[in-house]
C-alpha cells in the first residue's frame, strides 16, 4: 500500500498535470495538421480486422485488440522518429525518457508474447508451429531495436543526444519492424481457418478468448503504471476508424483518468511528446514547433 506521502505527492502532481494539460495551448487537443507530419507515418498504421471485415470470431477479436496495442507502438515509433531532430537541448532529457519508455514497452510486449501468449495460443488452437513466421519476424528487428536503446543509454549527457543519429538507427530496422506489427495481426486472424481451431461458442473457444483477454490486460499492466500504461493511453487515438474504438481499453472513465493523470504525473515531462492528449484526441507533435537541430 502506498503511504500517505505518496498519495499526497501523486494527488498534487495530478492536479498540476491536469491544469497543465488543460491550460497550455501547445498541449491542447488539436487534430493533426495537414501540413506537418504526424504519428501515422513513416510506419503506416494497421487497419483493425474487425473494422475491415465486421467478423466477430475470437481470432478477429483477439487480433483487433492486438492491433490497438500495435498501433500505439507504431504511433510511438513514429512520434519519436518525427520529433527526434527537433528536440531542444532543454527537452532532451525528457525526450530520451519518452523514447526509452517506448523501447521498454516494445521489449516487454515482445518478451511476453514469446514467453506467455504464443505457447498458450498454440495449446488452445491445437496446432504446433503456428508462430514460426512470427518468431522470424521478431528476430529481424530485435537487434536494431536494442541498438536504439543502447544509443540512448550510453549518452554521457542528455545534451549529447543527436536526433539525426537516433533516426539513422531507427531507419536500420524500420521496414522489418513495421512489417511485423502488421503481419502478426493477419497471422492471428488466420488461426480461425485452422482445422484444429476451436468451434464457435465451444468451451475451447471461450478458453481461447480468455487467453487473449487476460494476456492483453496483464501485458500492459506489467509495463508499469508510471511508464508503459500512460505511454499506451497517450498513444491511442480515439478518433481512429471513425471513433469505433473510443472506449478501448474498456474501463470506467475515472479509472482511465487516474491512469493517465495520476500514473502519468510521475514522468509528466515525457508525455508532451505523445501523439494524443489525455482525453485520447490526436494532437500536433510537440517538438515540431521547433526547427531541426542541424549540428
**Contact set with ligand NAG (CB under 6 A):** 53-54
Nearest to 43 by CA among 74, 85, 83, 82: 74
Q: Whole-number minimum distance, CB 58 to ligand NAG, in Å?
A: 18
- H or E stretch at 239: none
The CA distance from 179 to 188, in Å, is 15
Of 47 and 279, nearer to ligand NAG (C-beta) is: 47
In the complex, the smallest distance separating the C-beta of residue 206 from ligand NAG, rounded to whole angstroms, is: 25
CB of 198 to ligand NAG, least distance (A): 24
Q: How far apart are CA 72 and CA 260, in angstroms?
A: 15
**3 φ/ψ sector (left φ>0, alpha ψ -120 to 50, else beta):** beta
Q: Least distance in Å: CB of 200 to ligand NAG?
A: 19
Q: How far is the CB of 243 from ligand NAG (least distance, A)?
A: 12
Q: In degrees, to the nearest 5, what angle opens at C-alpha 97 toward C-alphas 95 and 98? A: 65
Q: Which one, 61 or 124, has the nearer CB to ligand NAG?
A: 61
Nearer to ligand NAG, 53 or 202 (CB): 53
Three-state secondary-structure class, residue 80: helix
Whichever of 33 and 56 has its CB closer to ligand NAG, that residue is: 56
CA distance 1 to 25: 37
Sign of CA dihedral 47, 48, 54, 59: positive
- Who contacts 113 (Cβ-Cβ below 8 Å, separation ≥6)? 134, 219
Report in angstroms how near the CB of residue 52 gets to ligand NAG at its nearest.
Answer: 6
* Smaller CB separation from ligand NAG, 27 or 52: 52
Would you say 157 or 242 has its CB closer to ligand NAG?
242
Pick the closer one to ligand NAG by CB: 22 or 56: 56
For ligand NAG, give the closer residue by CB, 116 or 241.
241
**Which cell goes with 210?**
480468455
What's the rounded Cα separation, in Å, for the pair 111 and 106?
9
In angstroms, the Cα distances linking 187 to 157, 191, 268 are 42, 7, 36
The C-alpha cell at 226 is 508510471
| Position closest to ligand NAG via CB | 54
Smallest gap from residue 54 Cβ to ligand NAG (A): 4
Instruction: Give the shortest CB-240-to-ligand NAG separation in angstroms.
Output: 15
Dist. CA 99–CA 77, nearest whole Å = 8
Closest CA to 282 of 233, 230, 232, 236: 236
Amino acid at each position: 500500500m502506498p503511504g500517505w506521502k505518496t498519495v499526497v505527492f501523486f494527488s498534487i502532481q495530478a492536479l498540476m498535470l491536469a491544469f497543465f494539460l488543460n491550460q497550455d495551448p501547445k498541449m491542447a487537443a488539436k487534430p493533426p495538421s495537414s501540413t506537418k507530419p504526424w504519428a501515422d507515418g513513416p510506419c503506416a498504421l494497421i487497419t483493425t480486422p474487425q473494422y475491415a471485415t465486421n467478423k466477430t470470431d475470437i481470432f478477429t477479436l483477439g487480433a483487433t485488440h492486438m492491433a490497438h496495442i500495435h498501433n500505439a507502438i507504431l504511433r510511438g515509433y513514429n512520434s519519436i522518429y518525427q520529433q527526434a531532430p527537433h528536440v531542444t537541448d532543454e527537452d532532451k532529457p525528457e525526450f530520451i525518457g519518452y523514447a526509452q519508455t517506448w523501447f521498454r514497452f516494445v521489449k516487454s510486449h515482445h518478451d511476453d508474447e514469446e514467453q506467455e501468449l504464443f505457447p498458450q495460443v498454440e495449446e488452445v488452437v491445437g496446432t504446433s508451429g503456428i508462430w514460426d513466421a512470427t518468431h522470424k519476424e521478431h528476430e529481424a528487428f530485435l537487434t536494431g531495436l536494442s541498438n536504439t536503446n543502447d544509443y540512448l543509454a550510453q549518452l554521457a549527457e542528455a545534451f549529447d543526444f543527436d536526433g539525426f543519429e537516433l533516426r539513422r538507427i531507427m531507419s536500420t530496422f524500420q521496414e522489418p519492424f513495421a512489417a511485423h506489427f502488421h503481419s502478426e495481426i493477419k497471422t492471428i486472424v488466420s488461426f480461425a481457418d485452422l482445422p484444429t481451431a476451436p468451434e464457435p461458442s465451444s468451451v475451447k473457444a471461450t478458453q481461447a478468448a480468455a487467453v487473449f483477454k487476460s494476456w492483453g490486460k496483464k501485458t500492459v499492466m506489467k509495463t508499469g503504471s508510471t511508464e508503459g500504461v500512460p505511454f499506451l493511453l497517450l498513444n491511442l487515438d480515439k478518433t481512429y476508424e471513425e471513433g469505433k474504438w473510443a472506449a478501448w481499453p474498456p474501463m470506467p472513465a475515472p479509472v482511465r483518468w487516474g491512469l493517465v493523470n495520476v500514473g502519468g504525473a510521475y514522468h509528466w515531462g515525457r508525455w508532451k511528446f505523445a501523439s494524443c492528449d489525455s482525453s485520447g484526441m490526436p494532437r500536433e507533435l510537440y517538438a515540431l514547433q521547433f526547427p531541426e537541430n542541424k549540428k
